[in-house]
Structures are given as structure tokens and as C-alpha cells.
Structure 1
Amino acid sequence: MINVFVLDKDHKPLMPCRPARARRLLKGGRARVHKLHPFTIRIVDRTLAESAVQPVLIKLDPGSRETGIAVVREDVKKMHYALFFINLRHRGASIRDALTARRQLRRGRRSRNLRYRAPRFLNRRRAEGWLPPSLRHRVDTTKSWVDRLRRLVPAIGLAQELVKFDTQKLENPEISGTEYQQGELAGYELKEYLLEKFGRRCVYCGKSGVPLNVEHIVPKARGGSNRISNLAIACVECNQKKGAKPIEDFLKGKPDLLKRIRSQLKTPLRDASAVNATRWALFNSLKATGLPVSVGSGALTKFNRHLYGVPKEHWLDALCVGETRRAVFDERMQVLEVYCAGRGQYKRTRTDRYGFPVAYFMRTKRPYGVGTGDIVRMSVRSGKHPGVWTGRAFATNDGSVVMLQPDFRVRGRAKNCTILARNDGYGYSLTNS
């Protein structure tokens, strides 16, 4: 089950409705299909002035690889009822890898037996607030989906998890008293950081899905501190078995594991660094929308999740962001998985490992009116798989269209295709919450 977005006849957003109601409106001729992803209908006989709308918030849980988005209805008691969930998967890692490959290729040109050109760097200036493309992508994609949702629901405000981890507590764990007062939230930040850093697994035995404790690598009985560089995550059994032993004695005979743990202790959490680097850029872009933006910390999100018994998921974390009296969602509600697929690439050839071209990409993005990534309805009259097929198209330069099915491929012609939705740079699927 997933709710359906509704627009009035002037394309103004109304309250989302249940799928059964949307089917009745479409069957009765009172509505038209406006968009496939996310599925949106447009009522042809009603305006916003004739309809009743309720306060709606768009809540965000930004992440390094994924961003959870929850569209919620807020009542007078500040209780939040989930209307729609989106799990937005970023492609920052692939952007970083592509830029790294391009940089290495350019540097390789200078070291070959070619005319020498000195590296240029003094003529490059970065604007204030510049972010690497892999990080800027996260900000721009999240802002793009906020703008898209604002056109589909009557949003009155936004909520963002601004601070993933309390850097003051991480840099100085001994801070206490009047210098550091968090009330019920004290201790959540540090353990959540360690859980994410070590993948929510015991560093000694690798168990997951069991209660995990904060582990002192150098025991406190032997002078170990509470600093982040001396802390890890361990299951109860390993924590008790190690006790006050030095880690060298406890892992005697396991030098590889000891080396890995020591290396991991010195490595900062990359995901936290990415989130902290982009949090203010995202906050400022959300403020530019003109809607009020409320913020909350990662500790508050976790506190709300534990208080209301909400499972740990990105989209459910978004539901628990900020101040709320209650977080309510239907367990049958499905989640719209959105992944950034892009609209193609700049390079014109596919190369081998030595950099020589082995294949050439077509120059036209949409030959015969159909482009790769379009969702089409294709009529196949002959061949192995005759019939009418619906899915994502892969266009070729000779006018043929290939459609991937779970177990086979369907091949047809562009002239026999009806475009249902053009490629917008994203891929979509539904999962259970």
C-alpha cells in the first residue's frame, strides 16, 4: 500500500489519498493520471478553494549514501502521521570514482613520453562555500526532491536532522556538568557514532543483531581513557571475556584482527564527515524555499525512535526527526526507492584497460523519439516474445528498442512504442516498510 498524490484541476496540491479512492476517481472519469513516479492524479472537477487541506510537513534524514524523506500530516497536538516515504539513494561514490579516474588519466599524460606541460594550479579559484561534486550532488538532489514534493503536497514547513553527531562530545568526552547538559539525550551521540563506525558489529567476533556495548580497547583499570580513539563496539560475551585484559593478550594468536582493529580506531567515520560537510549547505538551500525549517540532532531522532518504538530505517528516522509528540505510521505502507541513475555520460567511447577505444556511444540521446531510461508501452507483433510490454527502454541508434524483463529481453521498434514517462535521471522501485 502506498498513498497517491492528488492535484486539483489548476495543478495545485491537495491532500494525498488512498489507492482505492484514486481508482474510483480514475474509473469514474473525475481524475486523470498526472505522473507515474511518484504516482499522482489530477482531479478535473475540483479546485483548492473547494477542498479541505491539513498541515503537511516534509521531514529529512540526510545521509552519506541515502537520504530518508517522510511526508507527514501534523495535527493540533503535534502528532505526526506518515503519508509517504521515500528512500533516496545518492551516487556520490560513483561521481568521486569518475573524477578520480579522470584525474589519474590527466596526470598520466604528463608522465608519458609526450611534450611536457607543467601542472597548472595558481589560476584556479574556488567560490566561497564550494563543495566537491560528490558532496554537492547530495545537496542538489535532496533539494530537487523537496521542490518536487512541494508541488505535490500542501507543505507548510520542513524539518531536517542538522547535526548527525555531537562533535563537542566526540572531541572531549570528559566534558560534563554545566559545560555539557543534554538531559535524557546524554550518551546517545557517542554510542550511535561507534555503532555506525564499526558497522553495528562486534569488533572481536563480528556478530550483528545482538546487544552491543561500548568497549574500552585499553581498559579503564589500566589507565584507558574515554576518548573516541580508545572506544569500540563489542557484544556482551566478548566484552565480559576480555574484561581488564590488554587487547594484545586477548587477541594473542590473531595478529590480522589486531592490526585491523587498530587501523579502524584511527580511521574517522567517512559517512559522518560527508554529512557534516553538507549539512549547512542543505540547511541554507532549504531556507531559500521560504518555508520555516526546524532542525534536530541525531540524538533526538534516536530518542524519538526508541520512545515511540519505531524500527531503524532511513525513512523512519526521517519520521522521527525534530520535535514531535508522537510518530505514527502504517506498517503496510510501502516505500518508494529512488536511486540516482543519471541521464547518460559525457564520454563518447568505451575504452579498454589501456585507454584505447573499443566501442563508440551514439551521439543522439533520443533516436526516433525514444531515449534510454524512458518508461514505454511497447507492442511487439512478432519474434520470441509477442505482446504488449511495459517497462524501461534501452534505445539504440537504428531505431530498435530493448526492454529488460526479469528473465529475458524483449526487442521491438521505436515506432511501436508509447512513452508513458520520460527519463528524469532517476530509477524507481517499491519496497515494504
Structure 2
Amino acid sequence: MLVFVINKHGQPLMPCKPRKARILLKEKKALIKSYNPFTIQLLYGSSGYKQDVNIGVDLGAKHAGIAITSEDKVLAKGEVELRQDVKTNLDTRRTYRRSRRNRKTRYRKPKFQNRRRPEGWLPPSIQSRIENTFFWIEKYCALVPDSKLTIEVGKFDVQKMIDPEIQGVAYQQGQLYGYHDVRYFVFARDQYTCQVCKKKYKILNTHHMIYRSHGGSNRADNLISVCTDCHTHENHQKGNIFWKWMVEGKKLPQYKEGPFMNTFRRRVNARYTDAKITYGSITTPKRKVLGLEKTHANDAVAISGISAIKNDTQIVFQIKQFRKKKRSLQEATARKGRKTKNVTSKRNEKNKKSSGGFYLNDRVILYGKTGYITGFTGASGAYVKTIDGDYITIPNKSYKQVSLKKLTRIGHRNNWQLEYKAFG
């Protein structure tokens, strides 16, 4: 892992080795400018020796790969994990808001004069992923001198993916064209086969993957074909097959990424006019020539344009965004037996940003493992997860709460988690 360097005027220089950075910091010739990623700033004048630096970016709907290369060396590479929970959080907020309007709580009338969307508007879930990707692209571009940016984008024809023979006016007719209703479309899509017992030509029902009582819709992507022998009350109960489908997810054909990547491509072309644009059909052969495994980070290395790798970094960075603030004050379901009107809302004791000197998303050590505080319980407990989303618990115990006294804080984080992992 190399350390990024900027001179005293704020201009980026070539990265240096950690040993060199330690010497500069110890001799008071540099100071720490940033921890995320680790960057030092020189306190004396230096123009520095500069090389040609290339940055490759592998765009994706859930992960983005970034790699920095120079000549035959890989200076840094890693992945950025994009948030996928924005739409779910907005739906939850909408549910709370509509529920409040029917209770004796703070009341705000619905607004009907603020529905005009500005030009270039995107749904918040898409806007969040695009802006976060652009943030880290520009962050790393600002840390190296005279960088040349190459970005891999995707171009998808979703209707062609669904029906390879589609052409002409069929593009305007949609998937359900020619079917009596969505129910018969679902049967045809599943080839009149029960998705539980896999038997054909039985009496079929359409089953909601996510129950309507849990917010599921009547759209085709939430319906699946199940025969009458399998569509039973018992299978709907908690722990049985239908419940597992709802909790763990049942894999159905999804085409959400295609439209998102098409939108992403247009935004990239408008923002990075000087960047070189490439496609996956070009990247894959290059990666195989370099002898790299299939990962977003390695794809970014191939995208950067490096022709041969003499020195490859053994450290990969992993970046993940953390939803730090939870702004909802009210309960989802009002408490029964309330003696006084709920005219003043108070934040739930567990819904707070700090406790005992610790803050949400602080990086801590617990039982020899590194993790991040994702929530608090009571006045002296917390939940700690690794960057991969696994709870760190007390050895030989199953409950997730841990005492704040057991935590050792490494550093304070805002909304981003960044880890360096060794491989190879």
C-alpha cells in the first residue's frame, strides 16, 4: 500500500512507500492531510518527479472498481460498494408520514404545489449511486499528478435481453402485450411449472413473493407460479418455503441494472468529457492477457491501459457507505393506552448518534477484530459489524449486543467505511 503525497501548495505528487512517509512525519517534514485514504502533505517546497499516471474505473450498479497504474506498476486498486437501501428507506419514511396524518401527532398537510421536477432529475436511489461514484473517482484523481482517466460503461437493450427476436413496433408493446392479464403472463413466463415442486400442467396460483401485508405489489416481478398442492397455509408460515423466499429472496429475472447503467453512461459522458470510454468486451481480453482474476478491482487495472504488470499491489482497499443518520422520531405503531396526546415527539433511546463517548460508525477493535459501531442499545451497549456486514459478538454467545467497555476506538468515521485487505 502506497501513501499519497501532496506538496505544500496542495498539488499532488507521486505516491511514496509507507517507510518514506513515516520518516517524513517523524522528521517534521510532513503532516497528515487525510486518513481516508491516507495522505500526507509536505512542509517544504518540492516539485517532485512525476510519471504518467492512469486511472481505470469499472462502473457497476452495486460495485465500482478503481485502479491507479503507472508504467508497469499498480499503485492502488480496490472497490467501492454503493448503497442499495435508499428506496427502501424512502418507502419507510412515506409509511410513517402517512400514518402520522391519521393519528393525533404533529400534522403537516400534504403539499400539492411542489411536484415540478427540475430538468435532469433522477430518482434519489439512482442519484445517490451516481454521485457517490463520481465522488471517489474525483477523490483519487485529485491525489495523483496529471492522471488520464479511462472509464468502462455499459450499454444495454433490456427488451432485447428479454426477447432476442424483438424488432420494430414490438418495442412499444411491452412484456404483457397479448396476455389477458398479468396472471397469465406469469404462468407463461414460468412455463406453466410450479416453482416449488417443479411439476408441469397442474392447477396453478400466483403467489406474492413479498406478501401484500409486508408491502408487496401485484407486479409481475413479485409474482410466481405455484400449484394448488404447494400453495398451502403451512407453506406461508414463518420458517417455511414461502417465508424463506420473502426473507432470503427468490431469484427471478431482474433487469433493473440495464436501465441504470444506460443512465449512468449518459451522465459519465456529460461529466468527464476528456475521459476515454471503453466497454466490457474490450476489458475482458485485456484482463485475461494480464493474468488477473475476475474482480471489479482487477477489471479496473485492465481498463487503465497497463500492458504488463511488473509490480502489483498486495493490498486492496474496500470502501462502503454507512447510513449514519436516522431522522424518524415517531414510532411506526403508536403506543396503546397513551394518557396524554403525542404532541411532542422524543427520539427513541436506541435511535441516537452517540453514547458513552462513542459515535455511530466509529472504527473500533473488539475481541481482536476490527469493526464499526452500527447502533446503540441502552446506555452502555452497542452493535458492532465488520465492513462485510457480520456482527462481532462475545465468544461462545449468540446475542449481538456488546458492552461499550469492551471497545477500543481506532478512529472516528463519518459516512464512509474504508478497509485495506491483503490478498495473494
TM range (shorter): 0.5 to 0.7
Q: Distance in 2 between matches of 1:53 and 1:367?
A: 47
Segments of structure 2 that go 5 or more residues without pairing to the other structure are: 167-187, 210-223, 226-249, 336-344, 386-391, 395-401
Residue 90 (structure 1) aligns with = 82
Q: Which amino acid aligns with 1:272?
A: G
Residue 52 (structure 1) aligns with = 49
Q: Distance in 2 between matches of 1:110 and 1:395?
A: 29
After the TM superposition, which residues 15-414 of structure 1 pair with which residues of structure 2 at under 5 Å, given as runs? 15-48=14-47, 51-73=48-70, 75=71, 81-91=73-83, 93-108=84-99, 124-165=115-156, 170=161, 254-255=198-199, 267-287=253-273, 292-321=274-303, 324=305, 326=307, 328=309, 330=311, 332-348=313-329, 351=331, 354=333, 360=348, 371-374=359-362, 407=394, 409-411=403-405
Q: Distance in 2 between matches of 1:373 and 1:266?
A: 34
Q: Which amino acid aligns with 1:294?
A: K
Q: Distance in 2 between matches of 1:148 and 1:155?
A: 14
Q: Which amino acid aligns with 2:257?
A: D
Q: Distance in 2 between matches of 1:168 and 1:399?
A: 54
The 1:325–1:340 alpha-carbon spacing in structure 2 relative to 1, beyond 3 Å, is closer
Deviation track 1:172-226 (CA, whole Å, cap 9, x = no partner) reads 8579xxxxxxxxxxxxxxxxxxxxxxxxxxxxxxxxxxxxxxxxxxxxxxxxxxx
Please state how far the C-alpha of 1:311 moved relative to its aligned partner.
0.9
The 1:99–1:330 alpha-carbon spacing in structure 2 relative to 1, beyond 3 Å, is farther
**Structure holding more helix per residue:** 1
8 A contact 1:3–1:19 mirrored in 2: yes
Q: Distance in 2 between matches of 1:370 and 1:266?
A: 42
Deviation track 1:330-357 (CA, whole Å, cap 9, x = no partner) reads 55521111110134222235x3x52558
Task: Give the SS at the match of 2:257.
Answer: helix
8 A contact 1:403–1:410 mirrored in 2: no
The 1:122–1:25 alpha-carbon spacing in structure 2 relative to 1, beyond 3 Å, is closer
The 1:304–1:152 alpha-carbon spacing in structure 2 relative to 1, beyond 3 Å, is same
8 A contact 2:79–2:319 mirrored in 1: yes
8 A contact 1:3–1:16 mirrored in 2: yes
**CA RMSD between the two structures:** 4.9
Please state how far the C-alpha of 1:40 moved relative to its aligned partner.
1.5
Paired residue for 1:429, among 414, 419, 422? 419
Q: Distance in 1 between matches of 2:383 and 2:159?
A: 53
Task: Give the SS at the match of 2:283.
Answer: helix
Task: Give the SS at the match of 2:128.
Answer: helix
The 1:133–1:155 alpha-carbon spacing in structure 2 relative to 1, beyond 3 Å, is farther
Task: Give the SS at the match of 2:119.
Answer: coil
The 1:301–1:369 alpha-carbon spacing in structure 2 relative to 1, beyond 3 Å, is same
- Which deviates the most, 97-106 or 131-140? 97-106
Q: Distance in 2 between matches of 1:95 and 1:72?
A: 33
8 A contact 1:69–1:85 mirrored in 2: yes
8 A contact 2:3–2:16 mirrored in 1: yes
Q: Distance in 2 between matches of 1:336 and 1:428?
A: 7
Task: Give the SS at the match of 1:273.
Answer: helix
TM-score under structure 1 length normalisation:
0.60
Task: Give the SS at the match of 1:16.
Answer: strand
Please state how far the C-alpha of 1:423 moved relative to its aligned partner.
3.1
Q: Distance in 2 between matches of 1:328 and 1:45?
A: 33
Q: Distance in 1 between matches of 2:287 and 2:155?
A: 15
Alignment: residue pair count: 332
Task: Give the SS at the match of 1:130.
Answer: coil
Calculate percent identity across the aligned residue pairs: 27
